[in-house]
């Protein structure tokens, strides 16, 4: 077929850019709306209106603790967007005075395939993780109340979880926090208190946090399990196991277990994966968050419940598109109208 004449060719799309500040402005005051976006994305994915290939992990032989992960995905239904998140985790970064994680999210038009937006995505990633966590917490507890909330690991994700709990007006008697670096835990506790979280305490051990809290948020950079005593779950807490590798299989087997997508979560030496290797099956996983939302599975009253979300690319797309549309409507960001330009037409100007 002959190429169309210049007079019949469509203009190539522009590329929009959102900075981290643009993304954060969109989120402030709208975190409850963000949780609803995540809820709808989970249900869309569960209905089969998505494609979410396994994440790819780029690792470095001389830096085994560091990794860069690619999360391609497509989410249909009301969202109708494709894209990819490229997220790096370099635990030594804080020593350099910069955050551990960095990320960018590209959103693709599903009609032409062209990327139409690029945005800073560490905030998108942290927000969708926090939104899924508080959605799971509310679903598993049946409300927005916890007598005591414990936090193990006081980095970026923990801060975002707190902001979602705050903006969704969770009621609690206070927080107990732990971090391997006590000064970080103390700074985090001080920031919680200053932000209206109520009484805060710093614990000397992660085990003590679990033992004394009925809602526990685990957000560490642990690569291997470091919590192994099932008795820490004897009082039946809800544990948001966001960092995935902290709990020994003995603790997993002592609880009800829920995740976002079983096939994705039982891999890459997560606690769920290690448990499967130990027992030879996956029957210890009771279901997904979508199952809980649909009511096809339920938490057993009084028994510990652990939510271990692997983190789905479809959630990044849902939150990213929601952020993009709101930012554009508010006149935020910048546009590169000639990012593609005629130079890309078959390599000729």
Q: Are 267 and 332 in contact (CB under 8 A)?
A: no
Residues 349, 344: Cα–Cα separation, whole Å: 7
pLDDT at residue number 147: 96
Closest CA to 13 of 120, 121, 108: 108
Write down the pLDDT at residue 4: 47
Distance of CA 310 to the CA centre of its chain: 8
Helix or strand holding residue 182 (H, E)? helix 182-194
Residue with tokens 């500040």: 21
Cβ within 8 Å of residue 174, ≥6 positions away: 148, 149, 197, 198, 199, 200, 201
Is it the case that residue 194 has pLDDT exceeding 50? yes
Q: Tell which residue, 168, 180, 87, has the closest CA to residue 135.
A: 168
pLDDT score of 10: 67
How big is the CA angle at 179 (ends 68 and 267), to the nearest 5 degrees? 40
Rg (CA), the chain: 21
Q: Please state whether 180 falls in left (phi above 0), alpha (psi between -120 and 50) or beta.
A: alpha
Is the distance from CB of 20 to CB of 120 less than 8 angstroms? yes
User: Quick check: helix, strand or coil at residue 263?
Assistant: helix
Bridge partners, 82 (sequence order): 74, 108
**Nearest alpha carbon to residue 324 among 44, 52, 115:** 115
191: which DSSP letter?
A: H
**pLDDT at residue 345 above 80?**
no
Q: What pTM value is reported for the model?
A: 0.91
Nearest alpha-carbon partner for 108 in 331, 326, 340, 334 = 340
Summarize the confidence of residues 222-236 as an average pLDDT: 96
Q: Which DSSP string corresponds to 62-84?
A: TEEEEEEEEEEEEE-TTT-EEEE
Burial 237-258 (b: 16+ CB within 10 A, else e): bbbbbbbbbbbbbebbebbbbb
pLDDT of residue 9: 57
Query: What pLDDT shows up at residue 5?
Result: 47
Share of the chain above pLDDT 90, in %: 85
For 268-294, write each residue's pLDDT tens digit: 899 999 999 999 999 999 999 999 999
Question: Which pLDDT value is given to residue 281?
Answer: 97
Calpha distance 269→250 (Å, rounded): 15
Mean pLDDT lowest among 63-72, 109-118, 177-186: 63-72
Strands 81-89, 63-75: pairing is antiparallel
pLDDT of residue 348: 52
Local structure of 301: helix, strand or coil = coil
Q: Give, in degrees to the nearest 5, the angle at Cα 320 between 93 and 164.
A: 70
Strand pairing report for 200-202 and 285-288: unpaired
**Would you give the DSSP letter of residue 12?**
P
pLDDT at 251: 98
Give residue 343's pLDDT band: very low, low, confident or very high (50, 70, 90).
confident
CA nearest 103: which of 78, 137, 129, 69? 69
Summary mean pLDDT of the chain: 93
Please check the confidence at residue 60 and state whether its pLDDT lies above 60: yes
Mean pLDDT score, 133-151: 97
Mean pLDDT of 143-166: 96
Question: In the predicted model, what is the mean pLDDT of residues 76-96?
Answer: 94
- C-alpha–C-alpha distance, residues 141 and 68, integer Å: 34
Q: What is the pLDDT confidence band of residue 138, given thresholds at 50, 70 and 90? A: very high
């Amino acid at each position: 077929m002959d190429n169309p004449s210049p007079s019949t060719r469509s203009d190539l799309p522009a590329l929009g850019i959102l900075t981290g500040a643009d993304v954060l402005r969109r989120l402030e005051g709208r975190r409850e709306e963000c949780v609803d976006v995540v809820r709808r994305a989970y249900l869309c994915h569960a209905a089969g209106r998505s494609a979410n290939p396994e994440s790819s992990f780029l690792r470095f032989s001389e830096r085994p603790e560091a990794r860069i992960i690619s999360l391609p995905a497509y989410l249909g239904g009301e969202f109708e967007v494709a894209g990819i998140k490229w997220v790096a985790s370099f635990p030594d970064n804080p020593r350099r005075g910069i955050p551990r994680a960095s990320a960018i999210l590209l959103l693709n038009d599903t009609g032409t395939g062209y990327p139409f937006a690029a945005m800073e995505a560490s905030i998108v990633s942290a927000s969708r993780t926090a939104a899924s966590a508080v959605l799971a917490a509310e679903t598993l507890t049946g409300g927005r109340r916890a007598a005591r909330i414990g936090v193990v690991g006081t980095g970026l994700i923990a801060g975002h979880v707190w902001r979602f709990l705050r903006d969704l007006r969770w009621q609690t008697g206070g927080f107990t926090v732990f971090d391997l670096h006590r000064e970080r835990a103390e700074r985090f506790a001080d920031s919680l208190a200053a932000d209206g979280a109520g009484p805060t305490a710093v614990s000397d051990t992660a085990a003590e946090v679990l033992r004394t809290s009925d809602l526990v948020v685990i957000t560490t950079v642990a690569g291997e399990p470091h919590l192994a005593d099932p008795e820490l779950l004897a009082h039946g807490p809800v544990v948001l196991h966001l960092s995935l590798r902290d709990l020994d299989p003995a603790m997993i087997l002592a609880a009800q277990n829920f995740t976002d997508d079983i096939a994705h979560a039982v891999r890459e030496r997560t606690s769920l994966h290690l448990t499967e290797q130990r027992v030879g099956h996956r029957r210890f996983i009771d279901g997904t968050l979508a199952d809980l939302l649909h009511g096809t599975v339920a938490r057993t009253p009084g028994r510990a419940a652990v939510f271990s979300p692997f983190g789905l690319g479809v959630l990044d797309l849902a939150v990213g598109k929601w952020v993009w549309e709101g930012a554009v409507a508010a006149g935020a960001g910048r546009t590169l109208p000639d990012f593609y330009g005629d130079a890309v037409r078959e390599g000729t100007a």
